[in-house]
Amino acid sequence: MSEPDEPDRLKSLGDRLERARRGQAGPRRESGGGADQSSGAAMGLGFRIGLELVVAVCVGVAIGWAIDRSFGTKPWGLLVFLFLGIGAGMTNVYRVVRRLGMGVGYKERKPGQTAPGAQTSDWDDDED
Q: For the segment 49-99, what is each residue's pLDDT rounded down to a tens digit?
A: 999 999 999 999 999 999 999 999 989 999 999 999 999 999 999 998 888
pLDDT value of residue 62: 97
pLDDT value of residue 111: 75
Total Cβ atoms within 10 A of residue 90: 14
Q: What is the DSSP string of 9-36?
A: HHHHHHHHHHHHHHHHHSPPB-TTT--B
| Domain spans in the chain, listed from the N-terminal domain onward | 52-101
- What's the chain's average pLDDT? 79
Its pTM stands at 0.54
Average pLDDT of 12-20?
87
Cα-based distances in Å from 54 to 9, 50, 64, 69, 92: 60, 6, 15, 22, 11
Decide which of 82 and 1 is more confident: 82
pLDDT interval class at 9 (50, 70, 90): confident
